[in-house]
Amino acid sequence: MEPFSQHPTYFAASLEEAINTVHSERQPLIENFLYEKSALLIYADDGVGKSILCLQACLQATVKDSKVFGEFDVPHARKVLYFQMERHPDESFERIRHLKNVIPYDSKKFALSVALQGTDLQDSHSRLKALDIVKATMKEINFIPEIIAFDPIYVMASDDLSTAPACNAITSFFRVIQIGTNASILATSHTNRGIRSEEPPYKRVGKDMYGSRFLSAFFTGSYLIEQKSDSSGSVFTLDKNSQKNLEKKFSLNYDASCYCSWIDTDGKYTKKDKLDNFLKTCKNFDKEFSFKEMQDVSGLSDSVLRGHLSGYLEGHVKNSSKLSYGKLLYRFLG
């Protein structure tokens, strides 16, 4: 289907078809991190590394069975369009040259563009031109992306993001893009400055997403990224999760020599590892198990475990015909 050709209104037969064919669960693009037809915002202080982290996730998403940050599965290779909204593209090229030595990526499924630099979405002429640029870019690369990244978003409006007009201009643009492509939006932004503490060392505290409530309302999920106290990496803390399918909190190590980040397990098994080991043990002993048992063993939250069951474990964990004290039992098929 051509991009931007879908009619936004559903009724009668088209409504029934949409209801009957929609997935029962959001399909993961990157398990527990980014899902189809969603919008994820990651925000942080200047210099924490949000652009590098966003770039790494987008690159890894282009390869089937890749594990983003060494942890989050990519069930199917995804096509990605990455709009670098400020700075020269050489900055990203340098990072990619190092990253591709340590992570998988497919250059045929990844496109980087600086064509939107200088866009002011609060200006009607510039906004229309920006839509034309997106369409022309997709025609040039010859694919409709499943992930469209914008890094960063504050440069896309003339007013600062604390104002409603600036945020509404950006989010309305994103909505048109999503309706026209069915892509998921991955965007980066900044924290506000916070309030300077009255006690030494007089650091600013109470930092939050920089933007009005109209900005946060658009995104289905958001993460605050903070630097570790020893500067060895970063910590993602979930701020919003309207679809209940994102990892709540995770810590990453960072290697400056290759710009690569990976999950910090402190030498221990990850929650997903614990779940996989439990399932293999149950299969070996022909044992049935409950949802709560999977939770207790792995430490995963309800939403993340459900995401795994409808994601990489779909077709492998099946409902049993038996019940245990009114609770559904499962069996692992391997």
> What digits encode the pLDDT tens for the residues 51-81?
999 999 999 999 999 999 998 999 999 999 9
Q: Are residues 213 and 251 in the same domain?
A: yes
With 60 as the cut, is the pLDDT of residue 1 above it? no
User: At 196, is the pLDDT very low, low, confident or very high (cuts 50, 70, 90)?
Assistant: low
Query: Quick one: average pLDDT of 116-143?
Result: 97
Q: What is the pLDDT of residue 154?
A: 94
With 70 as the cut, is the pLDDT of residue 201 above it? no
75 prior amide bond cis, ω within 30:
no
The mean of the pLDDT values for the chain is: 89
Q: Exposed/middle/buried for 12, CB within 10 Å: 0-12, 13-18, 19+?
A: exposed
Residues 6+ apart with CB under 8 A from 13: none
* Domain presence at residue 16: yes
* Domain presence at residue 123: yes
> What digits encode the pLDDT tens for the residues 280-317?
989 888 899 988 899 888 888 776 787 788 778 888 99
Give the number of residues written for the chain: 334
* Domain presence at residue 155: yes
Q: What sign for the dihedral angle of Cα 308, 310, 313, 318?
A: positive
User: At 142, is the pLDDT very low, low, confident or very high (cuts 50, 70, 90)?
Assistant: very high
Among 8-12, 92-96, 305-309, 320-324, which is the least confidently predicted range? 320-324
Q: Are residues 226 and 283 in the same domain?
A: no
Tally the domains of the chain.
2
Q: Are residues 276 and 259 in the same domain?
A: no
The whole domain housing 279 covers 271-332
* Domain presence at residue 194: yes
